Amino acid sequence: MKSKRLLLLAIAVVAAGAALAAGLGSSSSNAAPRATARVAVVTDIGGLNDKGFNHLAYVGLQRAQSKLGVDGRVFITNTAEDRLPNLRSAAQQGYGLVIGVGFLMFDPLDKLAPAVPNTKFAGVDVPYALLASKPANVRGLVFKEQEAGYLVGYIAGLEIKRHPYKGKQVVSGVGANKVPAIIHFLTGYAAGAKKANPKVTVLINYANDPTFADQAKCKVTTQNQISRGSGVVFEAAGQCGLGGLTAAKQSGVWGIGVDADQSFLGPHILTSATKKVDVAVYQTIQAYAQNPDGFTGGSDQVFSVKNGAVGYGKLSPKLSKADRAYILARVSNIAKQIASGKIVPPSGT
Amino acid sequence: MSTAVERAPASALAGSEPVGIAGIGLGVLAFWLALPPVHSRTVALPAVVGAAAIACGAWAVAGGRRRLGWAAVAAGVIGIAGAVLATHASVSHLQAVITWSTILAATLVFATPLTYAAIGGMFSERSGVVNIGLEGMMLMGAFFGAYGADKTGSWVAGVLIGMASGAALALVHAFFAIHLRADQIVGGTAVNFLALGITGYLYVDIYGNNGTPDNLPAIPDVHLGWLGSIPPHSLGSFLDEVLGSQNLMVWLSFVLLVVAYIVMFRTPLGLHIRSVGEHPRAADTVGISVYGVRYASVVTSGALAALGGAYLSIGFVNSFTENMTAGRGFIALAALIFGKWRPFGAFAAALLFGFSSAFAPQLQNVDAWSTYGTLFEALPYVLTLIAVAGVIGRSIPPAAIGRPYQKQ
């Protein structure tokens, strides 16, 4: 929580600075047109309103437009074949910073970036090591999902210790498919739960849903876990996981959301493992807007608990005051230890 | 029965069909004996039962029922092989993976949408129109089922609106396939993308960020508490866990199955549909409206596929998300083909496919086996390919399938 506040403070300071730089006293947004940074976001398949990556990346861009006054545009990717042409037209149209969203952007970025050395690129979830051509103008934006998983696992472990489900201390996690980000989330989750409560049993299952949209599969997988005694289910499964969270609600056990803060789904959501793509996009645009020439690629920028880009969401309003205080005091301490490097959650890959 | 009887050679030995079916049953039994709760720890017992299965299969093959017979032989071999593997696995691992009540309950959940779509597909394909658009029709049913239930406050109205939307999409497909004589595979694919676009757009437009409301009227579950009191207690509680709280749509799919069989194979209407699919010219000359029958069949298939989609959205998970059918329409088509374009065959295939979906995640309960789940899920499709390729008794489609009919 504290890191979040610091972040807001930092944003406020920068925004104020940007307003000053844009021209004292001028309220007009086009006061300094020549200095305006031009930024494009190229989405991945799934549309702008996917409640996941694309949506959060767009939110980050919108925030940058309103707070930093950058000139932004979104290129929407509809099929796998659109990724490269979208990146290319963004570069050709003079956008100085082009942000590709999604792991699968690594290949088109790898192909395009060396050909347009004057354009800066960033890839959300794209590890720089995957780019074979080693372009100096691409920056990878990667997340430590295991830290978010660790924190919500810790919360789950504490909750089940205080309130065992049907006399058992079992918590579980569901992944849609075995991809790196999900393995990170779930490995961190298991480790966090064990840290909070050495007696806990952690069940991890994958729903085998490569589409990330098949709610029925996550629901059945989750129901199996609940029948095996799980009292807290963490759904690291995109839209598939919504089916699992419904199962949790129907069985009267806790659910834990992922990526966005999914507390809006109802009081059965204990908390959420948040991965703030919007923060990453905003911070990247901010760094570029402040000093376009100084924006370097050639490596990964890591988003973690330390810089406020992963963490845990709101705690359920259903928790008693005592439980909430008990959990918050302990988990914020753990978050601090993760931020300082004292605890290093395992990633599983 | 009709086509099966037609295709059985005149020299069939008496009783080869029941013997073949019994052989398949024995093969499954051979494997089952080595699993919880029976746990035969030696191979001898399953091996004897499996050998009996192979013998039954051989009898059926000799009797002219080649496909059934070879299936029984395969079941016997797989049963013995499975039993050998199972006796080598530790009991605790087996118990972690095999919870029959959980697996069978989930099998029904996964099989039900496939059953609706496959029966729907049967009507369309039996009339001679390939319906690869089942996926899109399911998706329409899923979205409009949820939307209708939300707007009217009644799940019955939701289901009806969902069916109407699937029928409407099917009508588009029918118009292109029948009147315009377009390529039916291309038309069906286009219809799938159309449905993805329509439902995706409307979903975002209407429900925005927070998704469908969590108080959607749902198709009720049928609670059969009395199942639990059937003696002996273990049987009762087992039945209760498998069937005790399944959704109404699961039970309706059984009814639909029987009705579809009777309509297709026991009524003049069914005969019309099949004759139009086998030999439209002949049907035309005896005064059957080829276009009329085909339109009706395709529209029926859309409505039934949409029922499967509505089961997913307002029956099982109680919300809608983009592309939530996730390819089930195509799997239903595979079930239909594997089941030889027959209702009970398609249902059996749907159960098999459902079983593999239900069983795959269970394998992960043992760390060492977790990677086999994905492989196991591929098994039904391998079987479908074998069936289509004709290794054990070829699946033969209606003769005029995919061929537009031109009136003279």
Rounded Cα distance between B346 and B335, Å, is 5
Looking from the CA of A166 toward its CB, the CA atoms found within 13 Å total 12
Of the listed ranges A98-107, B226-235, B260-269, the least confidently predicted one is B226-235
Rounded Cα distance between A7 and A24, Å, is 25
To test the contact with chain A by mutation, choose from B312, B317, B369 the residue with the greatest count of A C-beta atoms within 10 A, namely B317
Rounded Cα distance between A143 and B348, Å, is 46
Q: 3-state DSSP call for residue B128? A: coil
pLDDT of B6 higher than 80: no
Can you say whether residue B118 is alpha, beta or left, with left for phi > 0 and alpha for psi between -120 and 50 degrees?
alpha
Could you count the other beta carbons within 10 Å of the beta carbon of residue A301? Answer: 17
Q: A221 touching B, CB under 8 A?
A: yes
Of the listed ranges A5-14, B170-179, B255-264, the least confidently predicted one is A5-14
Rounded Cα distance between B297 and A347, Å, is 53
Q: A249 touching B, CB under 8 A?
A: yes
Instruction: Inspect the interface and report whether the beta carbons of B364 and A205 lie closer than 8 Å.
Output: yes
Rounded Cα distance between A197 and B344, Å, is 51
pLDDT level of residue B1 (50, 70, 90 thresholds): very low
CA distance B361 to chain A (A): 6
Which residues does chain B have within 8 Å of residue A243's beta carbon, measured at their own beta carbons? 317, 319
Q: By percentage, how much of chain B surpasses pLDDT 70?
A: 95
Q: B192 touching A, CB under 8 A?
A: no
Max alpha carbon distance in chain B (Å)?
Answer: 69
Rounded Cα distance between A112 and A119, Å, is 10
- The DSSP bridge partners found for residue A143 are A303
> What pLDDT, on the 0 to 100 scale, is given for residue B17?
79
- A vs B, Cβ pairs < 8 A, gives 86
Contact by Cβ (8 Å): A284, A99: yes
Q: Chain B window 283-342: which residues touch A at a Cβ cutoff of 8 Å?
A: 312, 316-319, 321-324, 326-327
Q: A236 or B367: which carries more pLDDT confidence?
A: A236
A70 burial class (0-12, 13-18, 19+ CB within 10 angstroms)? Answer: buried
Q: B350 or B41: which carries more pLDDT confidence?
A: B350
Mean of pLDDT over chain B: 87
Q: B95 touching A, CB under 8 A?
A: no
Q: What is the pLDDT along chain A (349 residues), one digit of tens a residue?
A: 445 555 555 555 555 445 444 444 344 444 444 458 899 999 887 667 666 678 889 999 999 999 999 999 999 887 778 899 999 999 999 999 999 998 889 999 999 999 999 999 999 999 999 899 999 999 999 999 999 999 999 999 999 999 999 999 999 999 988 888 899 999 999 999 999 999 999 999 988 887 778 889 999 999 989 988 999 999 998 888 999 999 999 999 999 999 889 898 899 999 999 999 999 999 999 999 998 888 888 999 999 999 899 999 999 999 999 999 999 999 999 999 999 999 999 998 8
Instruction: Inspect the interface and report whether the beta carbons of B324 and A214 lie closer than 8 Å.
Output: yes
Q: Do domains A2-143+276-303 and A146-275+319-340 have the same CATH topology?
A: yes
Tell me the mean pLDDT in the region B192-210.
88
Instruction: Inspect the interface and report whether the beta carbons of A217 and B357 lie closer than 8 Å.
Output: yes
In terms of Cα–Cα distance, which of B169, B162, B178, B175 is closest to B197? B169
Q: B221 touching A, CB under 8 A?
A: no
The whole-model pTM stands at 0.81
pLDDT of B33 higher than 60: yes
Q: B215 touching A, CB under 8 A?
A: no
pLDDT of B231 higher than 90: no
CB proximity list for B165: less than 8 A, separation 6 or greater: B140, B141, B143, B144, B306
Type of residue numbered B58: A
CATH superfamily ID and name for A2-143+276-303: Response regulator (3.40.50.2300)
Instruction: Inspect the interface and report whether the beta carbons of B106 and A223 lie closer than 8 Å.
Output: yes
Which residues does chain B have within 8 Å of residue A224's beta carbon, measured at their own beta carbons? 102, 106, 361-362
Q: A35 or B175: which carries more pLDDT confidence?
A: B175
Q: B209 touching A, CB under 8 A?
A: yes
> What pLDDT, on the 0 to 100 scale, is given for residue B13?
59
DSSP state of B42: S
> What pLDDT, on the 0 to 100 scale, is given for residue B293?
95
Rounded Cα distance between B84 and B180, Å, is 57
pLDDT of B24 higher than 60: yes
DSSP state of B311: I
Helices (H), chain A: 2-21, 53-68, 83-92, 106-112, 145-162, 180-196, 215-227, 240-251, 277-290, 321-340
pLDDT level of residue B125 (50, 70, 90 thresholds): very high
Rounded Cα distance between A272 and A170, Å, is 18
> What pLDDT, on the 0 to 100 scale, is given for residue B233?
80
B164 burial class (0-12, 13-18, 19+ CB within 10 angstroms)? Answer: middle
pLDDT of B332 higher than 50: yes
DSSP string, B173-229: HHIIIIIS---HHHHHHHHHHHHHHHHHHHHHHHHTTT-S-TT---PPEEE-GGGGG
> What pLDDT, on the 0 to 100 scale, is given for residue B40?
74
> What pLDDT, on the 0 to 100 scale, is given for residue A99?
95
> What pLDDT, on the 0 to 100 scale, is given for residue A256?
97
Q: Chain A window 134-173: which residues touch B at a Cβ cutoff of 8 Å?
A: none
pLDDT level of residue B278 (50, 70, 90 thresholds): very high
> What pLDDT, on the 0 to 100 scale, is given for residue B9?
46
CATH superfamily ID and name for A146-275+319-340: Response regulator (3.40.50.2300)
CB proximity list for A290: less than 8 A, separation 6 or greater: A14
Q: Chain B window 97-126: which residues touch A at a Cβ cutoff of 8 Å?
A: 99, 102, 106, 109-110, 113
Task: Sketch the domain layout of chain A as residue ranges.
Answer: 2-143+276-303, 146-275+319-340
> What pLDDT, on the 0 to 100 scale, is given for residue A82?
87
The Cα angle at residue A217 between residues B140 and B367, in degrees rounded to 5:
160
